[in-house]
Amino acid sequence: MSPAVRPPEEVLLGFARALRAAGVPVTADRERTYLAAVAAVGLDDQVAAYHAGRATLCASPADLDRHDHVYAEWFGGRSRPPAHGRAWARDVTRAGLAVAEQPTGGTTGDADTVRARASSQEVLRHRDIAAMSRRERDELGALFAALRPRSPRRRAHRHRAARRGSLDARRTLRSTLRRMGEPGEVSRRRRGSRPRRLVLLVDVSGSMSAYADALLRLAHAYCAAGVPTEVFTLGTRLTHVTRQLHQRDPERALVAAGGAIPDWSGGTRLAEGVQLFLDRWGRRGVARGAVVVVCSDGWERDRPEALGEQVRRLAAVAHRVVWVSPHRGRPGYEPVQGGIRAVLPHVDDLVAGHSLAAFEELTDVVARA
């Protein structure tokens, strides 16, 4: 069965469907634009048709990567995608957007999983929510429902009418206009406030396994409370789980997040995880002006000073860095552990994260930030 004898629309639409199956969000209107674009460049110009597909069906560097894989599979030897400069490959590895659910045996989940660069062994283990008994789950759910996370606030760009504040010339003029030019009461305005973004970096490595579940529940509570929140997990990899946690039901959200995290209870590469977060997301804007909460015991075996350097970079872009260490809650705790000592100079608050009471303290610290 040669593809050449099939009508071209069928081949092209089939390609769009295959792309959708590979995880690119191809919608019907995108398919239509794709057909129009290929018709515009002409079917016989395969290179141009290839670029038309990239421009109309994709919307992110990850999509482009998937497109190229599927393109090679679908059109096979008929037309090869033009080779790309090595700069492209470089960006993919650095940005680390893994190709999800490739037919050719991708190992990563659907979330944007960034593979940390070191060679220390990683243990891939998915969290098993089913191991928890029903009673335990209900209890936890009730406890977290009692938590009332509030958003930190920042000064907004826009002004709001106020009784006191600076002169609002525009509104004053407008009311004067309404009276046909007769001067009247002077209006005043003030800057309003908007919720400040919250970024949660949750360490899910083995040493934190007893707390990670509760911390993700806390993250879900923040998402559910409407606080603009981005959640990442750190282990041997950096995983973006915001999308998974944005579900109303905490159990479903946790199962989804657990499924997306490939390195549950594995090893830890904290410094590299924070660095990847900064390079891939943080410095570009996610961490800028945000309240960043790092939930970790600071267990960095090899290079505590590297962790300190990354947290210094983090503090340089974030509005406030809050470090949550479960060990802080223990009586007689002293921050002597190498990693935590290295980060302390750059951290605004160090709070405990071992109990629900500690979480309440954390929500207070975050709301005040």
Residues within the interface to another protein (CB under 8 A): 25, 27, 29-30, 33, 36-37, 40-41, 47-48, 51-52, 54-56, 58-61, 63-64, 82, 84-85, 87-88, 90-91, 94, 156-158, 169-170, 173-174, 176-177, 180-181, 279, 283-286, 288
Residue 55 CB, shortest distance to another protein, in Å, is 4
For another protein, the closer CB: 30 or 320: 30
Amino acid at 278: L
* Residues ≥6 apart with Cβ < 8 Å to 136: none
CA nearest neighbour of 326 among 335, 314, 313:
335
For another protein, the closer CB: 77 or 181: 181
For another protein, the closer CB: 21 or 177: 177
CA distance 275 to 210: 25
CA distance 22 to 101: 6
For another protein, the closer CB: 63 or 300: 63
CA distance 17 to 26: 8
According to DSSP, the β-strands at 229-234 and 198-203 are parallel
Q: Tokens representing 29? A: 């209107």
Residue 250 CB, shortest distance to another protein, in Å, is 24
Q: What is the DSSP letter of 196?
A: P
Residue 39 CB, shortest distance to another protein, in Å, is 10
Amino acid at 37: A
Residue 216 CB, shortest distance to another protein, in Å, is 21
For another protein, the closer CB: 60 or 166: 60
For another protein, the closer CB: 30 or 217: 30
Residue 361 CB, shortest distance to another protein, in Å, is 31
Residue 165 CB, shortest distance to another protein, in Å, is 17
Q: Where are the alpha helices (DSSP H) in the chain?
A: 8-21, 28-41, 46-57, 61-75, 86-95, 134-145, 169-178, 209-224, 242-245, 250-260, 270-277, 304-317, 338-343, 356-368
